[in-house]
Amino acid sequence: MVTGRVADRIGPRPVLAVGAVFMVAGLLATSRVAALWLGYLTYAVGVGIGVACAYVPMVAAVGGWFNLKRTNALGLAVAGIGVGTLVMAPLAERLIDAYGWRDTYVYMAIGAAVLLGVAAIGANRPPQSAAAAPPVPILQLVKGNRSFWVLYLSMFLMTIVLFVPFVFMADYLKQEEVSGSAGWIVGTIGICSVLGRLGFGAIARRVSLMGLYRGSYLVVGLSFFLWILAGTSYPLLVVYAIVLGVSYGGFIALSPAVAAVVFGPVGLGGILGALYTGAGIGGLIGPPLMGALIDGIGYTPTLLIAAAVGVASAGVLLGLSGEPASVRAPA
């Protein structure tokens, strides 16, 4: 919420540069920790602030640069997350096997320094930002704004369950004695999320933007039934990863486009930052909660609960006021 509003005022480049420093420092510090609690601290502060400085300001900047085909541009921009998931999940697995987790964090820090440094050079402020009227204060915007809180609650519920396969797939494969790599399943989610981000962004201008958005949430929730049905079949788990990845990519690609339609592109960084705190809180409590449920009642009941929460997140979007399903993305 803070970095989005700062980027609205001064542009994305200095914010991204600060994020690069925190990201690299956090990864390097994590590579040297001697206790797990200290690793939680260094990774959370360094990588957390780094992501906060990179993701929301850059997505908002892309939204500000495009009027025509905005959803296409946003879908392409956020496809980088899917590419990162595709590349880094199996790569990290191999690096850890070959060099250990400490050196792997060092290599990640070097990669982050190079990539974020290049990104900062190209992070230009949208031309209309300087001439636009000051954005509405966030507190004024969210107070009593039904649309904001509907989007917020849906993101919160979605991210409670979204990270279950990322966190627990390796443990599931080991517990169920399934032959295959969890890294490749997560990588499959990544590549399919790229396809989802590009595909949903391309077709959002031709069909109902809100309909697609609701549909992506619904399919994420329903995909957990595929995990349950897959059981110990690795090929079926890959099918689950494909379905989840495409729908997850749609959710990520369309979120900023929906926010731009509902609230307008001016001050989009602050708005997205405020909305994504819901996703942050969901991502914070979701994995520990799901882990406790897995330990207490097992995988199948927990996955049924995850499916119910995912479907509920789609149901919440039915209450979006002022944006009926017929709303389309801007041309």
Name the residue type at position 57.
P
Local confidence band at 324 (pLDDT 50, 70, 90 cut-offs): very low
The residue ranges of every structural domain in the chain are 2-123+138-316
Q: What is the pLDDT of residues 241-290, one digit of tens each?
A: 999 999 988 888 888 888 878 887 667 777 888 888 898 899 999 999 99
Q: How far, in Å, CA of 63 to CA of 58, rounded?
A: 9
> To the nearest whole percent, how much of the chain has pLDDT over 90?
46
Tell me the CATH number of domain 2-123+138-316, given options 1.20.1250.20, 3.40.710.10, 3.40.50.300, 3.20.20.70. Answer: 1.20.1250.20
Q: What is the mean pLDDT of the chain?
A: 85
Integer CA distances (angstroms), 236 to 17, 178, 225, 325, in order: 42, 11, 11, 33
Q: What is the pLDDT of residues 165-210, one digit of tens each?
A: 999 999 999 999 888 888 888 888 888 888 887 777 667 667 777 8
Q: How far, in Å, CA of 162 to CA of 166, rounded?
A: 8
Q: Given a cut of 80, is residue 310 above it in pLDDT?
A: yes
> To the nearest whole percent, how much of the chain has pLDDT over 70?
90
Integer CA distances (angstroms), 1 to 52, 138, 168, in order: 8, 9, 29
| pLDDT at residue number 299 | 94
Q: How far, in Å, CA of 312 to CA of 160, rounded?
A: 11
Spatial CA neighbour of 27 closest among 113, 114, 85, 96: 113
Q: Which helix (H) or strand (E) holds 172?
A: helix 164-175
Q: What is the pLDDT of residues 36-84, one digit of tens each?
A: 999 999 999 999 999 889 888 888 888 778 777 777 777 778 777 777 8
Taking CB atoms within 8 Å and a gap of at least 24, the contacts of 261-264 are 261/209, 261/323, 261/327, 261/329, 261/330, 262/147, 262/151, 262/320, 262/322, 262/323, 263/141, 263/147, 263/148
| pLDDT at residue number 326 | 36
Number of H helices, E strands in the chain: 14, 0
Compare 3 and 42 and report the one with higher pLDDT: 42
Q: What is the pLDDT of residues 108-122, one digit of tens each?
A: 999 999 999 998 888
Do residues 61 and 7 lie in contact, with contact meaning Cβ atoms separated by under 8 Å? Answer: yes
| Predicted TM-score (pTM) of this structure | 0.74
Q: How far, in Å, CA of 120 to CA of 117, rounded?
A: 5
Local confidence band at 132 (pLDDT 50, 70, 90 cut-offs): low
